[in-house]
Amino acid sequence: MTATLDTTLSLAGALNRALADALAEDERVLVFGEDVGTLGGVFRVTDGLAARFGDARVFDSPLAESGIVGTAIGMAMNGLRPVIEMQFDAFAYPAFEQITSHLAKLRNRTKGQVELPVVIRVPYGGGIGGVEHHCDSSEVYYTHTAGLRVVTPATPDDAYTLLREAIDSPDPVIFLEPKRRYWEKGTVDPQRRSPGLDKAVIRRAGSDVTLISYGGALGTTLEAAEAAAEEGYDAEVIDLRSLAPFDLETVAASVRRTGRAVVVHEASRFCGYGAEVAAQLSEHCFHYLEAPVLRVAGFDIPYPAPNLEQHHLPGVDRILDAIERLQWDDAAPLDGEK
């Protein structure tokens, strides 16, 4: 990663630059999907790439997600490194059979002889006032599928670094981009090396409770941590970054220090990603926990209409409510979810 970047970029801009640098440095890299060429993508993440690299390397595909993924699999089997875009999260469902039956399994099926270095970029989550099929949080479908790496950046710097690392990975990577954070800006350092494609990071140090989040919900979680400090709670915030594999070492070390944990994500609570995190912590940190691990998540409903999504998405108040219910006074057991 030797390119020169502007100091400040939006998350979308950081992704664009990461794609441009990967295309420039490795002729095996291709970018394609619906409207990613001339238009530059619905969210303009691929803006200008077709003009710079030509339509043999950045090009539009038919409106057929299964065909997009199937084509990428064939390309990867023949030595290319395709980066494909699913225009919206729920648009990827028609390609699910290709992803789970072939993309995730072919390396194992061939005893490692065939690598599939495919990156599937998926704009996911809510917060943009979109309707259903445009705002799903579909991460658990992929994390439950062995053979896939699943990562999600929450900052522009991570957007650049994680995408470069995902493109370099020999494994297929589901790259979940929190669309509500596309326009947020931050410092991007292309020379920075992340702790690894499968590592979590501590975004805020604290001693009383560990708040665990990722993607679009991380910013809200950090806001809640600052608000909690005003109420006397010192919250540590962990950005998972990698959902599969899960960085148990980093998360467990934090929870063993604080004794309490809250998991925050946008997806529905039932069988959501937070359930796996809570189970892992219960198994590995049971004797360190001062209270049950709590989850703050979306409601167990189909994604609501735009004028209702602010009630569906976890907010600062709901996170603070969970922190307050962590048996600080040991007076009584929890009385159920609010």
Active site (catalytic) residues: 134
Alpha-carbon gap, residue 91 to 33, rounded angstroms: 12
State the angle between helix axes of 316-324 and 218-230 in degrees (0 to 180), rounded to the nearest 10: 50
Helix/strand/coil for 215: helix
Q: Which amino acid is it at 236?
A: E
CA atoms within 13 A on the CB side of 106: 18
Alpha-carbon gap, residue 44 to 37, rounded angstroms: 10
CA atoms within 13 A on the CB side of 332: 5
Contacts for 218 with CB less than 8 Å, ≥ 6 apart: 154, 203, 237, 239
CA dihedral defined by 133, 137, 141, 144, rounded to 10 degrees?
180
Alpha-carbon gap, residue 241 to 183, rounded angstroms: 19
**Beta strand 29-33 pairing with 81-85:** parallel
Q: Which amino acid is it at 225?
A: A
Helix/strand/coil for 60: strand
CA-wise closest residue to 251 among 273, 226, 220: 273
Do 236 and 209 contact (CB within 8 A), yes or no?
yes
Tokens 């002889």 belong to residue: 113
CA-wise closest residue to 84 among 97, 70, 94: 70
